[in-house]
Amino acid sequence: METTEMQIEERNKLYRLAFGLAVFTIVYNILEGIISTYFGYDDESLALFGFGVDSFIEAISGLGIAHMIIRIKQQPNSNRDDFERTALKITGLSFFILTIGLVATSVYNILSNHKPNATFWGVIISIISIVIMWALIIGKTKVGKKLKSEAILADAQCTKVCVYMSIILLISSGIHELFHFSYIDSFGTLGIAYFAFKEGKECFEKARSNKHCSCENENN
């Protein structure tokens, strides 16, 4: 009986940790969004501005993840509920709108030979984001494995998309900062738009089914 109580307490601790990681992800994305959109607008860097808008959308997605953790804690084998499906649809639509806006503006910037005033903050923010997101991936993966939760493991894998976007921002901002190549900011924006489109598509796929993530097969 004592062992069972200890196991239950350990399980509850792990779910509290998973929920804490989800809340941290939401708060971080909101702060990242505010800072990125501010400096992106101020420096006229579309890649950084788009990255910031994406962060706000990721925060909306995070609300669904936090709700999911509460659900699977109460009912581990339950399916996605209406709240999560609605959050996914809103997130997916937001990603599609962002994609259209980024592609249209980046094409305009290329045709008009527009270039950002500076991309220093794009370099700094992307490096911080890569470090934070990898730490979250490691933390979520450990918790997911201990709980044997495919949903939490899938969320950890899907967080890698944020890392990919950060790498694109780092490369485009770094190249511009070093070589002042006028088109690189727009090319970086198109890269971010590509991943935003993929995320939007995946959100609608998940809203129509009970799959966790298209990358879930990568879990070990």
Which domains can be identified in the chain, with CATH numbers?
A: 2-211 (1.20.1510)
Distances from the Cα of 128 to the Cαs of 29, 32, 132, 133, in angstroms?
Answer: 12, 10, 6, 9
Q: pLDDT value at position 93?
A: 97
Residues 133, 156: Cα–Cα separation, whole Å: 9
Contact 173, 123 (CB under 8 A): yes
Question: Residue 176 — φ and ψ, nearest 5°?
Answer: -65, -40
Q: pLDDT value at position 183?
A: 93
**Residue holding tokens 């804690």?**
73
List CB contacts of 182: < 8 A, sequence separation 6 or more: 113, 114, 115
Q: Which amino acid is located at 45 in the chain? A: S
List alpha helices for the chain, DSSP H. Answer: 2-42, 46-74, 82-111, 120-147, 150-158, 160-179, 184-207
Q: pLDDT value at position 182?
A: 84
Q: pLDDT value at position 217?
A: 42
Q: pLDDT value at position 214?
A: 52
User: pTM of the entire structure?
Assistant: 0.91
Residues 71, 59: Cα–Cα separation, whole Å: 19
| Tens of pLDDT, residue by residue, the chain (220 residues) | 455 877 888 999 999 999 999 999 999 999 999 999 999 999 999 999 999 999 999 999 999 999 999 999 998 888 889 999 999 999 999 999 999 999 999 999 999 999 899 999 999 999 999 999 999 999 999 999 999 999 899 999 999 999 999 999 999 999 999 999 989 999 999 999 999 999 999 999 999 987 766 554 444 3
Q: Which amino acid is located at 25 in the chain? A: T
Q: How many residues does the chain have?
A: 220
The secondary structure of 2-39 as a DSSP string is HHHHHHHHHHHHHHHHHHHHHHHHHHHHHHHHHHHHHH
